[in-house]
Amino acid sequence: MNKKFLGAVAILGALTIAASSCASTSGGDGGSADGGGDGTITVGFAQTGSESGWRSANTESMKAAFSQENGFDLVFNAADNDPAAQIAAVRDFINQGVDAIVIAPIVEDGWDDVLQEAADAGIPVILEDRTVTASDDLYSTWVGLDFKREGEIAGEWAAENYGDTPTKMVVLEGTTGSAPANDRAEGFDAAISGTQIEKIDSQTGDFTRDGGKTVMEGFIQKYGIDGIDLLYAHNDDMALGAIEAIEAAGGVPGEDIAIISIDAVHDGMQALVDGKINFIVECNPLLGEQAADLVKKVLDGESVDKAYYVEDQSFTQEQAAEVIDSRAY
């Protein structure tokens, strides 16, 4: 909402301002540079999309933290995993004159120009969940998970349980070019180096259940159930899709093909409890409170670190059974 229009409706008072703030929060297509003139912080949030259960939990955490009750007017955009659309959304936030921008970057590359535009406009950018390759002086701070360490933990478990035996492994990669896909692959590969685990194939399933199912169907058609010993999936949704493909082919997931996954969302944890997944490394999606706190600190001129890591856990079947009923996602 621009200042000219605000002036035209000023006689309607605070009720009109509150209504316009509500509309921009729910509709995700409007905002105000001064947050409605009542001290509200207008934040544009560029989400990747809704590709997984993890992403849905992350979105809900962000919306809850950036609520009107907490002093925010949230302008939300989900780019449906389209990097160009996400960059366009950030440019729209800049044109609206929001107070701050939060981005969960779909891919790492291609952000230099739009981040420079935000800097030129005096709008601080906070990265959430994923990272970028752009110079770190173009954003204020980042909060998220150590994706490389997640891959290392998964790989260490694989090495301990399968490293001494010839093991043929396939990999379901996350979105090509994304930070979690790159880092989880690097961490896992380093951890299994020197073992007898052989990666015979690796393809992207775009972090989606349908993608995981489709790619796993191709792996099974190419190698057969008996030709695959281990599956490493970069997230639970792809692992769950792979389970469907294995079962449709007459195999027993978790037995005929062992499965390692990352995320620890409820459906993945249930599959672990049921023995269809063998090991899960957590990737905590509840980043909203930390992101909202960082936005306030940056706007208040407080000093912040360049990166904030949220600690992850890992789970075997027995450990998952003990905690699944008490988890928030």
Query: Do β-strands 279-282 and 314-315 pair in parallel, antiparallel, or remain unpaired?
Result: antiparallel
pLDDT in tens, 279-316: 999 999 999 999 999 999 999 999 999 999 998 899 99
pLDDT at position 328: 85
pLDDT at position 271: 98
Fold (CATH) for 3-145+285-311: Rossmann fold (3.40.50)
Helix (H, G, I), strand (E, B) or coil at 142: strand
Question: Which range among 48-52, 92-96, 181-185 shows the weakest confidence by mean pLDDT?
Answer: 48-52
Question: pLDDT above 90 covers what percent of the chain?
Answer: 86
Where residue 248 falls among pLDDT bands split at 50, 70, 90? very high
Class for domain 147-283, per CATH? alpha beta
Where b means 16+ CB within 10 Å and e means fewer, 130-144 reads bbbebeeebbbbbbb
pLDDT at position 26: 33
CA dihedral 88, 91, 97, 101 (to 10 degrees): 80
Spatial separation of the C-alpha atoms in residues 164 and 201, rounded to whole Å = 20
CA atoms within 13 A on the CB side of 210: 1
Q: Give the predicted TM-score (pTM) of the model.
A: 0.82
| Shared fold status for 3-145+285-311 and 147-283 | yes
Domain extents for the chain?
Answer: 3-145+285-311, 147-283
Spatial separation of the C-alpha atoms in residues 94 and 113, rounded to whole Å = 12
Where residue 37 falls among pLDDT bands split at 50, 70, 90? low
Burial label, 225 (beta-carbon count in 10 A; 0-12, 13-18, 19+): middle
